[in-house]
């Protein structure tokens, strides 16, 4: 009976896929159509224990990848929820440029399938900040929206948006590669409340992990002011072979 009633509502007010906008019928808990959902791919273990890169089936658990062994990043661990894909790109685009709240249920559905336990014991949840100029133009920070979706309400008292600040309005990292990414961000972040960070465990939230330059630069700032450790969580990760460098 409920289905019949809901079906009637579907006809009058069709629900839409959060990614492609196709009409959804039935399966009321789903926020994306079957086609879009089939494009969503969670990362498979074993992962590099530091940067979270997929190591491939044969590797033992608790290993680090060659890149991290050679040059350990300043953070304790980085994890991403899903691989970068056309549907994830669409969701992120909606989140970032359109202020499109219709993508939020789709992202929430993806997050509901991910184990956030490793990020449960943090003192602060801090989204990677935008520069004030960009924030004013866009009206919101997509990493802050993600942090709100990732952490349940009870954690949101430790969500901090005024500790880490972006002191330079840098060009978007996506337009650069390799060494230029790193150079672009040197000195781009600082702390507004330096004393707050001492001996704290920080969970840093960003949308995409590509080369890890942005999160490394933020982590370096936290560590230089005495943070105990920094854990990174991003919605998606661009695979190594598709990285800029
Ligand atoms: Zn769809
Ligand atoms: Zn690694």
Residue 196 belongs to domain with CATH number: 3.40.50
Are 7 and 53 found together in one domain? Answer: no
- Starting from the CA of residue 54, give the closest ligand: 2
Are 104 and 10 found together in one domain? Answer: no
Which of the two residues, 213 and 58, has the higher pLDDT score?
A: 213
The pLDDT of residue 4 is 54
For 78, phi then psi, to 5°, come to: -130, 135
With contact defined as beta carbons under 8 Å apart, do 215 and 231 qualify? no
Mean pLDDT of 43-69: 87
- What is the model's pTM? 0.89
Ion ligand 2: residues, Cβ under 5 Å: 48, 50-51, 53, 65, 68
Are 8 and 108 found together in one domain? Answer: no
Are 181 and 211 found together in one domain? Answer: yes
Are 18 and 89 found together in one domain? Answer: no
Sequence-ordered list of residues with C-beta below 8 angstroms from that of 9, at least 6 positions apart, any chain: none
Which of the two residues, 174 and 146, has the higher pLDDT score?
A: 146
Question: 19-27: long-range contacts at Cβ-Cβ below 8 A with a sequence spacing of 24 or more?
Answer: 19/87, 19/90, 19/91, 19/103, 19/106, 20/87, 20/90, 21/102
Ligand 2 center from residue 202 Cα (angstroms): 19
Record the tokens describing residue 76, joined without a space.
């304790």
- Starting from the CA of residue 22, give the closest ligand: 1
The pLDDT of residue 12 is 67
Tell me the pLDDT tens digit for each residue of 19-29. 999 999 877 78
Are 20 and 79 found together in one domain? Answer: no
Are 149 and 220 found together in one domain? Answer: yes
Which of the two residues, 205 and 59, has the higher pLDDT score?
A: 205
Residue 70 has pLDDT above 50, yes or no: yes
Q: Determine the Cα–Cα distance for residues 175 and 208; give it in Å rounded to an integer.
A: 14
Q: Report how many domains make up the chain.
A: 2
- Starting from the CA of residue 20, give the closest ligand: 1
The pLDDT of residue 7 is 55
Q: Which of 43, 48, 55 is nearest to 235 (CA)?
A: 43
- Starting from the CA of residue 86, give the closest ligand: 1
Are 130 and 195 found together in one domain? Answer: yes
Are 174 and 98 found together in one domain? Answer: yes
Domain containing residue 15? 1-38
Ligand 2 center from residue 119 Cα (angstroms): 18
Ligand 2 center from residue 142 Cα (angstroms): 25
With contact defined as beta carbons under 8 Å apart, do 114 and 42 qualify? yes
Tell me the pLDDT tens digit for each residue of 113-162. 999 999 988 999 999 999 999 899 888 899 999 999 999 887 889 999 99
Ligand 1 center from residue 81 Cα (angstroms): 19
Are 155 and 236 found together in one domain? Answer: yes
The pLDDT of residue 155 is 81
Q: What percent of the chain has pLDDT over 90?
A: 62
Q: What band does 5 get if pLDDT is binned at 50, 70 and 90?
A: low
Are 25 and 79 found together in one domain? Answer: no
Ligand 1 center from residue 29 Cα (angstroms): 14
Ligand 1 center from residue 139 Cα (angstroms): 27
Mean pLDDT of 172-195: 82
Are 29 and 44 found together in one domain? Answer: no
């Amino acid at each position: 009976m409920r289905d019949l009633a809901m079906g009637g509502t579907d006809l009058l007010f069709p629900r839409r896929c959060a990614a492609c906008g196709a009409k959804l019928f039935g399966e009321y808990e789903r926020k994306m159509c079957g086609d879009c959902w089939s494009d969503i791919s969670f990362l498979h273990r074993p992962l590099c224990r530091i940067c979270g890169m997929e190591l491939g089936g044969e590797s033992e658990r608790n290993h680090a990848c060659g890149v991290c062994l050679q040059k350990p990043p300043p953070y304790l661990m980085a994890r991403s929820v899903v691989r970068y894909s056309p549907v994830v790109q669409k969701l992120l685009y909606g989140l970032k440029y359109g202020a499109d709240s219709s993508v939020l249920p789709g992202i929430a559905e993806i997050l509901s399938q991910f184990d956030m336990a490793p990020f449960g014991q943090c003192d602060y949840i801090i989204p990677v900040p935008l520069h004030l100029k960009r924030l004013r133009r866009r009206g919101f920070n997509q990493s802050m929206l993600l942090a709100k979706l990732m952490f349940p309400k009870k954690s949101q008292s430790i969500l901090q948006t005024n500790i880490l600040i972006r002191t330079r309005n840098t060009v978007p990292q996506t337009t650069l590669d390799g060494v230029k990414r790193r150079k672009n961000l040197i000195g781009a972040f600082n702390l507004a409340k330096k004393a707050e960070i001492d001996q704290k465990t920080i969970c840093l939230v960003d949308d995409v992990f590509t080369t890890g330059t942005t999160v490394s630069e933020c982590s370096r700032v936290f560590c230089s002011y005495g943070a105990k450790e920094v854990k990174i969580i991003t919605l998606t990760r661009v695979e190594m072979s598709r990285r800029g460098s």
